[in-house]
Amino acid sequence: MIKKLFAAVLLVFMAVMFYQLYSNITEKSELSGVARGYAERGASELGTQNIVTSIVVTYRGLDTLGEVSVLFIAATGVAVLLRRRKEDEEYAAPSKRQSSEILQTGTKLLTPIIVMFGVYIFINGHLSPGGGFQGGAVIASAVLLLFLSDVNYKINHGLFNIIESFSGAFYVLIGILGLLLFGANNFLDNRILPLGEFGMLLSAGAIPVIYSLVGLKVGTELASIIDNMKKD
Amino acid sequence: MELQHGIIILMGIAMILSAILAMVVKDLISSVIAVGVVSLFASIIYLLLQAPDVAMTEAAIGAGLSTLIFLYALHKTKDAEEEND
C-alpha cells in the first residue's frame, strides 16, 4: 500500500517537473554561446564537414578518450567475471543444435558487407554522420552474426587483444603528439597532419586516423564482450 | 512539417506503450524484445529530429547489441537456476 502511494507521489512529482520544463521551452532561432562558436569555426579551423565529429574528436576529445576508457573497463569487468575457466573447456560440450540453413547461408553472404559498412562508417566519420563508436558497433554485430550462425565459432583472442591494445595506445600517442607540437591546451589536436582539401576522404588532419583507431578498439571490445557473454 | 510532428508523436506513444509492455509482460524474453523496440523507436525519432549520429548509435547499440546481450544473460541465468534445483 505504502509502496503504491509512494509510486503515485513520485509519478505526480515527475509530471509536475516535466510540465515545468516543457512550458519553459521557447524555440531559438539562432545558436548562442559555445554552440555558435563550434558551428562557425569548426569547418574552417579543423576542416571537418561533419561538425558533430569536430566536437566529439577534437574540441571534446578528452571526453571521448574517457568514454573509450569506460568501455574498456566495462569489457575488462565482463571478461574477469565471465571468463571461461580451463577445466570448463575440457568437458566435451553437450551436442548443440546447429543453426538453420537460411541463417548459415545468409551469414556467409552478409558478414563481409556488414564489416565493410562498419569500416565505411568510421573512415567517413568526418564527412558523414557516424564515427568510431557507431562503426565499431556495426562490426561487432557482424561478429555476433557469426556466433549465431555457427555454434562452434571462436574468435582469435590473441589477435583481438593486440588490435585493441595497439589502437588504444596509438590513440593516446596521437593525443600527446598534439601536446608536444602545439603546446598545452592542444591535447588530441587534429592538425598534426595536414588538413587537406575540405570534403575529401583524406582530409581534416588526424580525425580519420583517430576515428579508425576508436572504431577498431570499440569493435574488438564489443566483440569480446559478446564472446564472454556467449553461453558455452 | 505537420506530418512529421504527427509521426514523431505516434512514435513517442508507441515507445511508451512498449516500455509499459516490457514491465507488465510475464515472459522475460518478450520483455527484452520490448525494450529493444523502445530503442528502435527512439532511434527513428532521433533521425526525424535531425540527429543522425545519435540515431546510428542508438540503433546499433540500443536496439541491436544490448538486446542480444540481455538475451545471452537471460540464457546464462536460466541455466544456473536449473543447476541449483
Q: What is the mean pLDDT of residues A28-33?
A: 77
- Rounded Cα distance between A219 and A225, Å, is 10
**pLDDT at position B80 over 60:** yes
For residue A95, name the pLDDT band (cuts at 50, 70, 90): low
Question: Is A130 in Cβ contact with B52 (below 8 Å)?
Answer: yes
Tell me if A112 sits within 8 A of A195, measured CB to CB.
Answer: no
CB contact under 8 A, A52 and B53: yes
In this complex, is the C-beta atom of B73 within 8 Å of any C-beta atom belonging to chain A?
yes
Percent of chain B with pLDDT over 90: 28
Instruction: Answer yes or no: do A141 and B52 touch at CB < 8 A.
Output: no
Reported in sequence order, the residue ranges of chain A that DSSP labels E, i.e. its strands, are: none
Predicted confidence at residue A13, as pLDDT, reads 94
User: What cell numbers appear for A220 in the block?
Assistant: 574488438
Q: What is the DSSP letter of A191?
A: G
Predicted structure pTM score: 0.80
The band of A116, judged by pLDDT with boundaries at 50, 70 and 90, is: very high
The fraction of chain A above a pLDDT of 70, given in percent, is: 92
Model pLDDT for residues A119-158, shown as the tens digit of each residue: 998 888 888 888 888 888 888 888 888 888 887 777 777 8
| Confidence (pLDDT) at A5 | 92
C-alpha cell at A4: 503504491
Nearest chain B residue to A143, by CA: B65
Using CA atoms of B36, B75, A148, B22 in order, give the dihedral in degrees to the nearest 10: -10
Domain boundaries, chain B: 2-84
Phi/psi-derived region of residue A196, left when phi > 0, alpha when psi is between -120 and 50, beta in every other case: left
Q: Where are the domains of chain A?
A: 43-78+98-229
Please give the pLDDT value at position A84: 66
The pLDDT of A30-41, averaged and rounded, is 79
Q: What is the pLDDT of residues A175-223, one digit of tens each?
A: 888 777 777 677 777 777 777 777 777 777 778 888 888 888 888 888 8
Select the residue of A52, A138, A144 nearest B68 (Cβ to Cβ): A144
- In the predicted model, what is the mean pLDDT of residues A226-231? 76
ipTM above 0.95, yes or no: no
| C-alpha torsion A58→A64→A68→A73, nearest 10 | 140
| Average pLDDT value for residue range A5-31 | 87
> Higher model confidence: residue A16 or residue A29?
A16
- pLDDT tens profile A71-86: 889 888 888 887 766 5
Instruction: Report the pLDDT value the prediction gives residue A6, as an integer from 0 to 100.
Output: 92
Q: Taking CB atoms and an 8 Å limit, are B65 and A230 in contact across chains?
A: no
Mean pLDDT of the residues in chain B: 86
Residue A231 contacts B where some CB pair is shorter than 8 Å: yes
CB atoms within 10 A of CB B42: 19
List the single residue in B55, B60, B69 with the smallest CB-CB distance to A138: B60
Mean pLDDT of A11-28: 87
CB atoms within 10 A of CB A74: 13
| pLDDT tens digit sequence for A4-14 | 899 999 999 99
For residue B82, the model assigns a pLDDT of 66
Cβ <8 Å between B57 and A137: yes
Pairwise CA distance, residues B56 & A121, whole Å = 10
Measured between CB atoms, does A79 come within 8 Å of chain B?
A: no
H/E stretch holding A164: helix A157-182
Residues from chain A that touch B57, judged by Cβ atoms under 8 A, are 133-134, 137
What's the mean pLDDT when you consider all of chain A? 81
